[in-house]
Amino acid sequence: MSNNQRSPLRAAIRIFSALALATFTSAALADEQRPAPGIDLVGINMSGANFAPHVTPGRMGTHYFFPEKKHFAYYAKKNIRVIRFPFIWERVQHDLDMGLNFDHMRMLRKTLDLAARHDQKIILDMHNYGRYKGQLIGSPEVPYEAYASVWRKLAEAFKGHPGLWGYDIMNEPHSTKGLWPGAAQAAVNAIREVDSQTPIFIEGDRWASAFHWRHVNEDLLIEDPADNLIYEAHLYLDKDFSGRYAEDETVDPMLGVERARPFVEWLQEHGLKGFLGEYGVPAHSESMLEAMDELLAYLNEHCIPSAYWAGGPGWGKYVMAIEPIKGEDRPQMEVLQKHIANTCSDIGPAAAQ
């Protein structure tokens, strides 16, 4: 074969080799970016909009903050796509006889838009502890209908948004004098008047404590015509269950599992779906990081999703914060990453046999 004949052949071989290498590289990158198998079980709370709740409506950038693109991008890169987003009722509705505040609604929608662009889903969490301006929902000052009305309006505004996963109708109601179940039912009824598709998250009284669930929420069985409720509990590992971590403590590695178990068993007995909406540990505590690891393994075994407290802007050196510092991951992130992959096909737990 002459040199003239070899040149086209060599050129063809080079082109074929380049195409094969490009295909292999693209496939490798796709494998790196491909979502983990199973469902999204590991999430975070992205706080900031709930800061300084005693100052309402407050000023954005001074009293409270909304997350930016970089916050969503960081967690998307970590394959974390579930985001619980706390907001304050008094900021979205300045008075009960007023409509929803345009500026705050615009920022909530922008948050949903950012989540959608990063293939993430938001749980909108009304972070009010069962109250409005310090008065219990269900009291004469804050009748059930006022609470139902604000959720009807929120659902009407945000239903169908690609960045929305669900409505967390109230964060950690406590000391509600028996008024909370009626309030929860009123909110569910109102939402379902305008949105029959979106999941609704129901927290329990006594700060939604997983460990104390059966003492105070045994009969918290809300009716939903759409049959799409997810019950939510919270859990911290310090001795007073508060999450303040005022003292250094060494804990048993199974402490988180034992505190979650009453809630999980209640779900199983009633055939209900669950979510651990808050938990968190100090970054410097080896024993608590180990307990967090065991807790997430237990939740994943039962296909129960969870959201770590907390990420988002403004936390600084807060002991439970999971935002990176100067580009370095916090120790809690390594634990979360261990539990991204799972074999679940739906939210659990499975009903007791």
Residues with catalytic roles: 172, 278
- Reference 243, options 296, 310, 180; nearest CA is 310
Written as six digits, the tokens of 328 are: 């370095």
Instruction: Compute the distance between CA of residue 287 and CA of residue 293 in angstroms, rounded to an integer.
Output: 10
Instruction: Compute the distance between CA of residue 315 and CA of residue 120 in angstroms, rounded to an integer.
Output: 22
Beta bridge partners of 126: 87
Instruction: Compute the distance between CA of residue 124 and CA of residue 83 in angstroms, rounded to an integer.
Output: 9
Instruction: Give the dihedral of Cα atoms 293, 268, 181, 149; nearest 10 deg.
Output: 80
Query: Which strand (E) or helix (H) includes residue 232?
Result: strand 229-234
Q: Identify the sign of the CA torsion 216, 218, 224, 226.
A: positive
First to last CA, the chain: 77
Beta bridge partners of 105: none
User: What is the pairing mode between strands 135-136 and 131-132?
Assistant: antiparallel
Helix ranges (H only) for the chain are: 3-33, 69-77, 89-92, 102-117, 144-158, 180-194, 213-216, 255-270, 286-301, 331-338
Tokens 């390594």 -> residue: 334
DSSP string, 130-164: TEETTEETTSSSS-HHHHHHHHHHHHHHHTT-TTE
For 156, counting Cβ atoms within 10 Å of its Cβ (0-12 exposed, 13-18 middle, 19+ buried), the class is middle
